[in-house]
Amino acid sequence: MIPPAWISRPDEVNAQVARWQEEHSEIFLAESRRQFAGYPVWALTVTDRSIDDAGKRKLTIYKPHAHEPAPIAAQMNVINQLLTGETFDGRASEFDNERVLRECLIVFMPDANPEGTARAPVEAWDGSEYTNDEFWAWMRGPDPETGLMWKRVDIYDDREEEVLPTRRGIVYEQIDEHRFVEPNRHHASSLFQWIFELLRRRDDWSMMLSLHQTEFVNSPHNAMMILPCLYDELPEDIQRYEREWAQEIVDAWGQVAGANPIPEIKPLGYSDEQRRYFVDCWGDLYQRIPIVTSEIQNNSPCTPPALQQRLNEVAIRTSIERLLRV
Ligand SMILES: [Zn+2]
């Protein structure tokens, strides 16, 4: 069941963005880049626009992967709290709105690949309709021989692949007639095009929060924080900041009914090719800005959509509270 405060479909996101633009333009700026498939990829700035940005603390929040919709729903619900004082289902804002708007500039990128989101067969993955194998075949496309998921690459060209999936995986973003990228692993994605644009505009970003979901197969846990794969090589102040920030989110999750976060906080454990994608794409940014990743369970009855959304909201709220404090 889709929770009452859940908005993730691109048509609903676009309509809500238009409403906010209409009603809250003094504290809300909506900008979009059009992805190849024609959908707007939003960067939504929330701040008191009458106050100079120079002294504000700055946070970017983004969601790269189209098969992970809860971070969209969470960002939309947090934005609504900051703009209207209420969640979509009428709970009072958990923030000191006036202070957040005065002291912070927050850019939300609720969905870096709306075309992928639009092609998903469900609004939320709750584990009731698709096995993980079926879900993963939606994510990367079904391999024509096995029916199981196709491969994970940073970019592919449909003229050059010997075997193509029978249906394009929703995680891949089309960037021209023939090429498709994994948004978190290639600089040609709308995600990275937006991040580079935000970095061109200002170089004083305090934090970046990357929101994800994963399946936690054979694990009793349903949430975890991940540090950058290059964590051990980062400047000490960034290491300390990221470690404390991630710990605060894990501690906050511990207060949520149904949450079972992994207590240990570690750097991303990929090796070989997958690690190389991250080093190539993110290595330079990791040296400059504290960036942490949250992962909430997807496609499991253990973590229903309302809890998926809640845990993402708590990660965002904890990050904004830290932004105000540190
Ligand atoms: Zn992801």
Q: Is pLDDT above 90 for 321?
A: yes
Asked if residue 140 belongs to a domain, the reply is no
Question: Cα of 76 to ligand 1 centre, how many Å?
Answer: 18
Checking if the pLDDT of 140 tops 90, the result is: yes
Over residues 222-239, the mean pLDDT reads: 97
Strands 291-297 and 28-34: unpaired
CA of 82 to the centre of ligand 1 (A): 25
pLDDT in tens, 3-28: 999 999 999 999 999 999 999 999 99
Does residue 268 form part of some domain? yes
| Coil, strand or helix at 225 | strand
- Higher pLDDT residue, 269 or 42? 42
Domain count, the chain: 1
The rounded Å distance from CA 170 to ligand 1 centre is 12
Distance from the CA of 208 to the center of ligand 1, in angstroms?
15
Could you tell me the distance, in angstroms and rounded to a whole number, from the CA of residue 65 to the centre of ligand 1?
5
Task: Evaluate whether 110 touches 31 at the Cβ level (below 8 Å).
Answer: no
- Residue at 17 is within a domain: yes
Q: Does residue 165 lie within any of the structural domains? A: no
The label of the residue with tokens 């845990």 reads: 311
Give me the mean pLDDT over the 44-61 stretch: 98
137 occurs within a structural domain: no
Report if residue 160 sits inside a domain: no
Query: Per residue in 79-97, pLDDT tens?
Result: 999 999 999 999 999 999 9
Separation of 293 CA from ligand 1 center, angstroms?
9
Question: Which secondary-structure segment (H or E) carries 46?
Answer: strand 40-46
In a domain, 307, yes or no: yes
- Residue 173 CA to ligand 1 centre (angstroms): 13
**Residue 272 resides in a domain:** yes
Specify the long-range contacts of residues 272-275, CB closer than 8 Å, at least 24 apart: 274/152, 275/229
Distance 41 CA to ligand 1 centre (A): 17
Please tell me the distance between residue 296's alpha carbon and the centre of ligand 1 in angstroms. 10
Q: 25 alpha carbon to ligand 1 midpoint, in Å?
A: 31
Q: Report CA(71)–ligand 1 centroid distance (Å).
A: 10
User: Could you tell me the distance, in angstroms and rounded to a whole number, from the CA of residue 49 to the centre of ligand 1?
Assistant: 32
Question: What is the Å distance from ligand 1's center to 68 Cα?
Answer: 6
Q: What is the CA(53)–ligand 1 centre distance, in A?
A: 31
Q: CATH no. for residue 95?
A: 3.40.630.10
Q: Which helix (H) or strand (E) element contains residue 71?
A: helix 70-84
Ligand 1 mean position to 73 CA, how many Å?
A: 15
Return the pLDDT at 326.
86
- Top pLDDT among 1 and 179 is at 179
The residue segments making up the domain with residue 77 are: 10-118+184-325
Q: How far is CA 184 from the centre of its chain?
A: 10
Q: How far is the CA of 142 from the centre of ligand 1 (A)?
A: 18
pLDDT at 10: 98
Cα angle 216-72-244, degrees, rounded to a multiple of 5: 60
* Residues 154-171, mean pLDDT to the nearest whole number: 97
Residue whose structure tokens are 């676009």: 14
- pLDDT for 1 equals 82
